[in-house]
Amino acid sequence: MDFGFTEEQEAIRDSVARICADFDDAYWLQRDREGGFPHDFYDALAREGWLGICTAESSGGAGLGIQEAAIMMRTIAESGAGLSGASAVHINIFGLNPVAVFGTEEQKQRMIRPMAEGREKACFAVTEPNTGLNTTQLKLKAEKRGDRYHVNGQKIWISTAQVADNILLLARTTPLDEVKKATHGLSLFYTKFDRDRIKVREIEKMGRKAVDSNELFFEDFQIPEADLIGEEGRGFEYILHGMNPERILIAAEAVGLGMAAINRATRYAKERIVFNRPIGQNQGIQHPLAKCWAELEAAWMMVMSAAWQYDTGKPAGAAANAAKYLAGEAGFNACETAVMAHGGFGYAKEYHVERYLREVMIPRIAPISPQLCLSYIAERVLGLPKSY
């Protein structure tokens, strides 16, 4: 059993870190204050080919695995870019996996290659205002008329919709009362984002101002039949192929952000002199930081285990949920501890840790809550009855 990185993985980490070094703390502080998508950061990663790290070589990517992608996403977050940097490229890494698995060869070339090469941006629209994570109850309607689907309804918490060229959309094509199973009747589309038919309203939020979150309002939005992925009515099944990678990658980002916070707090604890000694000499500062480091390292082992299970074709659901849970909690604890280690200065924006604390709420909440991760493990691993 080898816990070390391969030479290729070390090269990935070093190359991504080199790119991130050009985008310093001042850059991300400015993005946090002013907002605005970090196009230059996105373009820098695209030029080096990193946006297609998991995309097949035949579709313009590097053909690597989720293990390598996890290393990349941790490196981005750990550089100080945090979730603002990671979320800017997050969907490029895994988002079109359903197209890669179920799309036609024509769709793969038309849809995936521009994303892998960084020429197009996309958003992923699943969640709705009144359904939350109960995806089988989605109501956004796509009605087929001739060779086009006419879409009406709402979506919410859709990231990057302000800058997206395309949209990966899950919509109901068969009414819920007409299907035999609740998971049936939903269809998946990947199509152009028509701003004349989709109204976008940005949601003001706690952190990650650089990467927008939005409500979408569809008014007779039309999708060509050629943009349907796979078979009509099987969209719920298809999006499952992106869920485990997403949970693994956001867990990696949580570890990276937590490590950024601990590294910054450790430097501060060495430099800050109170009562004629560095505060880092006090166990009241040392022990919480050391505990957070241990928790983050343990979470990282679970992230890499889940990524390895996914890459080798093993059932990865339990490991992906465990990684997401452990990393979300460890990342939050680390960022909170970093603020406390700074004392009053931890509340000041110029020290950055308050930004980390605001951003780390994202991998704790999304794409599913820690409670649902535990419910999955309780039901699928421990065999306990479903609680909801």
pLDDT(241) > 90 = no
Burial class (CB in 10 A: 0-12, 13-18, 19+), 8: exposed
Distances (CA, A) of 202 to 14, 35, 165, 363: 35, 12, 16, 20
Band (305; pLDDT cuts 50, 70, 90) = very high
289-292: list long-range contacts, CB under 8 Å, 24+ apart.
Answer: 289/262, 289/265, 289/337, 289/338, 289/341, 291/337, 292/258, 292/262, 292/330, 292/333, 292/334, 292/337
Q: How do residues 360-371 score in pLDDT, each as one tens digit?
A: 999 999 999 999
Band (379; pLDDT cuts 50, 70, 90) = very high
Which amino acid appears at position 137 of this protein?
Answer: Q
Distances (CA, A) of 231 to 55, 178, 235, 321: 22, 17, 8, 28
pLDDT(382) > 80 = yes
Distances (CA, A) of 52 to 24, 29, 56, 93: 24, 27, 8, 6
Contact 306, 254 (CB under 8 A): no
Q: Which domains does the chain have, with CATH numbers?
A: 7-116 (1.10.540.10), 122-236 (2.40.110.10), 237-380 (1.20.140.10)
**Average of per-residue pLDDT across 13-27:** 98
Single pTM value for the model: 0.96
Measured in residues, the chain has a length of 388
pLDDT(1) > 80 = no
pLDDT(304) > 90 = yes
Q: How do residues 168-184 score in pLDDT, each as one tens digit?
A: 999 999 998 899 998 89
Crossing angle for the helix pair 25-34 and 82-94, to the nearest 10 degrees: 80
Structure tokens at 347: 């509340």
Band (43; pLDDT cuts 50, 70, 90) = very high
pLDDT for position 388: 85
Q: Which residue from 245, 358, 368 is spatially nearest to 303, judged by alpha carbons?
A: 245
Nearby residues of 207 by Cβ (< 8 Å), 6 or more positions away: 32, 83, 355, 358, 359, 361, 362
pLDDT(140) > 90 = yes
Contact 188, 230 (CB under 8 A): yes
Cis, bond preceding 114 (omega within 30 deg of 0): no
pLDDT for position 132: 78
